[in-house]
Every structure is written in structure tokens, then in C-alpha cells.
Structure 1
């Protein structure tokens, strides 16, 4: 039975269609999903918008319920946990008609409501990026170039790779460059460049660079570039992904070296990038975890903006947050403590809430309990 022919009453009872009668003997290397909501319920149910902020967590969530299922392009997988019967369409499966295993990379493609390429505006300043002094120093070349592109001629820093631990300020620094120089910033997720139809991806990339060139000087920031540029020993690039990579390489090579456009790629895993892509970056800038003093500054800034007062020794907190990124400190530490205090109808975040948040973080990371145990 084809999914396209299912009537609403059949959706729940025919879940067995998600698994083929004949089990495939191939293991899925890559599965790219697109959220489609409840397409078989005749618009009787509102489709919630799915936003994934932690792609690693989504991948674990997906594998937990779909391991052993068959990944076939054009077919659907149904969520059975948070949003029962919510459908995800398989846009790409490599190899096609293969089995999802614990080794499968699962990506959720962002659905673009409009294909129109838009530049974003930012009020982030360079000083808002705490630490990363080496990265800021290296970015002086980009700043100098964007201030006077014509003077660089063949020496332009056209392609730069930002890499490092998630949450260390890669996107923030790109935004600050755009803001401080007052140049357009085009920020895109690499997964959004994977087209559903042949030619979609290459057209998007061509339009992106064409628009940036028309508004030059400008910055193009491609986040999670490893999503389309994995080394071939990790995944073979086929179809639209291969097309996207080839189009991207063509644009990065460029024809006019004085067009005043800097392409910044960002990744948490530079070693996974295909050599053909990584070799195009003339400069690689590493982003590192904040040290103790930087963590203290980050904590002080975030605590000032919290809706509840915090009764805690910030210096002590900076010691117990070792190995946390700025994003971890905000989202996985302070926010957890804040929500715990609010759930208890407290008007202050206390050390008990801090200890609870730290315990949850350590549990998630499988680390020792630490100084507040």
C-alpha cells in the first residue's frame, strides 16, 4: 500500500507499512527528513512548526524510535512519542531502501516558507563575544578586506572556516562583523540548501552568491557546513547533495576576486569535511571553550538579564562550569536553574536550584557529579 493512497482512518491501523515485509540488507548511512505534519487528516489538525535547536538530541530521539525501519526516499516515518502520528517525509536516503541503524546520520531539513534569499540585520557587537581573542585577531583581515575590497586584489580572504565546540560564538562573531562594518549578512543552514527536486540546491546557492555580490561588500555565513560536505569515507555524496557541493565549490572558487564577498563556513567537526571543500578555505579559525575568567564574565552578563534574582557566588559558579560553552551556561545551566525556581514558586534562584541544574547537566554529559555533589 502506498502512503499517498491512505485515508485518514487507516493512518493509525496501518503503521506496519513503515517496515517493509522484506528487510533490506543495506545499512542507511544518511537519512534526510522533512517535517510535513498531518498530511492525511484533511487539514482537520493544525500542523505545528518543528524547530530543532539540538540536532544531536533530535538524532538520538529519531534513532530510538525508528531504528530497524526502512529508509526509502519518498516514504514517511511517523512520530509516536511527543507528537503521535506526526509525519516526516524521507527526502534523501543513502543508500536508498536501506535499514536505519544506530550508525545512521539523521538530519531534519528546514522547510523554507519562502525561497527568497534575505539578508539579516544584527545588533551584536564584537565585545559581546566573550573571549575568542585569537579568533577576533584573525578576523582583522576580514574587517580590513571588507572596508576596502578593491585594494586586496588577489589577496582577498574570500573563504574562511570557523570551527570549534558548539556554542562558543561562531555565529555571534559573524553577526558582529556584519554589524560593526554595516555590511549585509546572509546566514543560512547548510541543510536548507538541499533541494527536494533536482536543481533546487544549485539554484539557491547561485542566487545566494549573486545577491551577496550585488550588495557587496557582504558576508555569507553557512552554518553546519558538514551537513552537506562530509568526507566521502563517511558518506558518499549523491543526487542533490552532490549537486549542492559542486555548486558551492564553483561559487567559492569565484571568477572575480574583487567582488567584496566573504564566505564563512562553520562546523563543529572540521575533520569530517571532504578535502575538496576544506581546501577551499584559505583560513581556518578555531573557537575554544571559555576559561574560568571568561565563564565568570558570561555568568555575570546572563544573571543580570534573568527575571529572578540569583543568590550564588558567581566566582564559585565559574569554577563548577568548567568545559561548558557560553550556550551551555545559558541554556543548560542557568535556564534549568531558573525554571526549577519558577516551578517551585520561588522569587529567587538559590544554590539548591544551581545544584539541581548542575546535576542535570552532569547526568546528560555522563560526567562525575563534581563539587556540588
Structure 2
């Protein structure tokens, strides 16, 4: 059997085996020479294609930007490697192979999230409720029709919804497919629905796994407002079909995340068996968020009262604290070529945020 994966099309050339590739994303390129078969040969069954692809390229070194040539299904048809995880790894019989068609957005598959539950500060109620999902992902066969297939994370932006989904995947040791809902909106009628079905087809091949749809309201917008975007109805219908389990897909948990529950289509919202609320951090939690992130600064911190900052930032999310307070203070110190981040830098960053929010800082934080 001939195998090729080098840019200069050398065949039967291999390197010493390395780690096995977990994910291989291919882009269809075409035939090296003109042919009556100039069009991309449509893959009718992704599972069959993936089986033959693994078998014929088993043992090949996969590098981003290089080519693989089909020798069995569509002889001499070329695919360019768009992504391989880990880089420079070997294609094996367990490698997940995705063909990136029609310039569609390929969801990123995170096989090994290193985020833990302890990394999500606060949200104790949400963590407790996630234990059921964890048990389902670890032993889906035990749940039968009583599986927690659809779960809604809701609450203000920046409160840890994405982090907790990744921590859950890590704890259950399953893959997670994180998707921005806006990525699923197609340019043409029917494209959005097709991408949703393809997403679930891929998840079924990887099950048990998590599909995490962030900004869910972007595609599950109340259909009463569909005149704002003409493809809403067909996207919502495709999502409903998948969430209803008309096609049995065991081992998949869909987690939707939104900060606009009132904008969700009632039919979609009713499909979530569980709604888990995320709240803004309390003062003691803000202290911990600040302390944890300050500890990772590349510069030392001097004369900064973390507790005072926490007291003044009521209503801030964890993301607000990191992006608007800590990062601004650190960047200002770097701009000034300082060797440390001082209270002055935090005072200035707090002043900007509070002024923007319409709050006056009556007294200085630091003497």
C-alpha cells in the first residue's frame, strides 16, 4: 500500500514513529492534473471515509500544511493538512479525521482540557449540579432514557460558564467541542442547519463527549424575531431535532450558555432538562480571584490592598476583574518600564473603570 504525506509527493517515506495523532483536519484540494473528475468527490458517509482514511494513512507523519493523497476511494485526490494535534504526530487507527468542506468553520476539539473545578472560583451550586452530568458522561449506559442530555448554563458574562464546561470534560475525561453559536450561522439558506447536524454527527463519533454552545441566543433566538435574521427558523428547527433525540445519539451532552435567557426561543429553552445559574462573585470570591491572578503576574506587586479593590468592585465578574483591573494595571507598569506593579497602577486602572461605569472614586485607595 502506498502512502504519501510530504509536500514534494515522495511516496513510501516515513520517519520514526512518534505520538499518535488525536485529531486530523483535512482540506480537500483536488487532483494534481486536470481530470474529468475536477469536482470534489462528495463524501456520503463520513464514517466510511474516516475508516478508509485511517487504514491507508496509518503510520504516516502528519504535519500542518503538508499533503495526503488518496489511493483508494478517489485515487490521486489531494488533501492538505489544516490541523493536527499534537503537531507532527503519527496517524493511527484511533485518529479522529475531519474533512473541512466548503470553507465551513470546523469546531475545535479539545481532547485534554487542563482546567479543574478548583480553577473556577465560586459557583458552588453549579459545580454540585454538574456532578450528575459527570456521572452520565462516565457511564452513559446506566441512564437510558433518563440521561441529562441538554443543560443550560445561564448568568452574566465572565462568570465561568465556559471554564466549568471544560473542567467538567476534564473531570469526566471526555472530549469537549466548544462552539461559538455565531460560527454556526451560514451565509446561505440551509447552511446553518447543515452545520448543526454535522456537529452532532461528529460528536456521535466521539461519544461520550460534550458539545458546548456559547452565546446560544445567537442561533436560538426567539422565532418571533426571525425577521431580524431570515435563517433563524431553520437553525432553530435543526437544533430542536438534535436536542429532541429523534436520532438516538447516546453519550452526548449539549451544554448551552447564555446571558440572555429572555431572548431564547421558548421551544429551545423547554428542551433543557436542567438550568444552572451562574452568579457574580461575592466579595470574598473577588478577593480570591484577584489574589490567584496577581500571583501569575510577570512583575512583582507592591503596596496593593487586594481586599480594598475587592470591596470596590461589587457587580464585577471574574472576567471584569482580570481584563479591566488587573491587566490594565500590569500593562501600564510595563509601558512605564517599571520593575513592579504598584498601588498607583491599580488606582489608575480602578479610576478608569469606575469612571466609565459612572461611579466616582471619592478617596484614594492608597496613601
Larger Rg: 2
CA contact (8 A) 1:290 1:325 kept: yes
Name the stretch that deviates more: 257-266 or 293-302.
Answer: 257-266
SS of the aligned residue for 1:266 comes to strand
Q: 1:220 aligns with which of 200, 211, 228?
A: 211
Q: 1:120 aligns with which of 94, 110, 131?
A: 110
What residue in structure 2 maps to residue 21 of structure 1?
none
SS of the aligned residue for 2:169 comes to helix
Are 1:209 and 2:219 an aligned pair?
no
Are 1:325 and 2:353 an aligned pair?
no
Are 1:295 and 2:286 an aligned pair?
yes
Are 1:189 and 2:180 an aligned pair?
yes
Structure 2 distance, partners of 1:313, 1:216, is 47
SS of the aligned residue for 2:231 comes to helix
| Cα 1:247–1:114 shift into 2, 3 Å | closer
Unpaired runs of 5+ in structure 1?
1-111
Structure 1 distance, partners of 2:146, 2:135, is 12
Structure 1 distance, partners of 2:120, 2:328, is 23
Q: 1:284 aligns with which of 275, 284, 288?
A: 275
SS of the aligned residue for 1:162 comes to strand
TM-score if structure 2 supplies the norm length? 0.68
SS of the aligned residue for 2:254 comes to strand
Unpaired runs of 5+ in structure 2?
1-101
How many aligned positions are there? Answer: 262
Following superposition, the deviation at residue 295 of structure 1 comes to 1.0
| Cα 1:371–1:218 shift into 2, 3 Å | farther
Name the stretch that deviates more: 255-264 or 230-239.
Answer: 230-239
Structure 2 distance, partners of 1:169, 1:276, is 26
What residue in structure 2 maps to residue 245 of structure 1?
236
Structure 2 distance, partners of 1:173, 1:304, is 21
The alignment's C-alpha RMSD in Å is 1.9
TM-score if structure 1 supplies the norm length? 0.67
CA contact (8 A) 2:107 2:178 kept: no
What residue in structure 2 maps to residue 148 of structure 1?
139
What residue in structure 1 maps to residue 222 of structure 2?
231
Following superposition, the deviation at residue 145 of structure 1 comes to 0.9
What residue in structure 1 maps to residue 157 of structure 2?
166
CA contact (8 A) 1:152 1:258 kept: no
SS of the aligned residue for 2:295 comes to helix
SS of the aligned residue for 1:297 comes to helix
CA contact (8 A) 1:153 1:257 kept: no
Following superposition, the deviation at residue 370 of structure 1 comes to 5.5
Q: Deviations over 1:43-80 (max 9, x none)?
A: xxxxxxxxxxxxxxxxxxxxxxxxxxxxxxxxxxxxxx
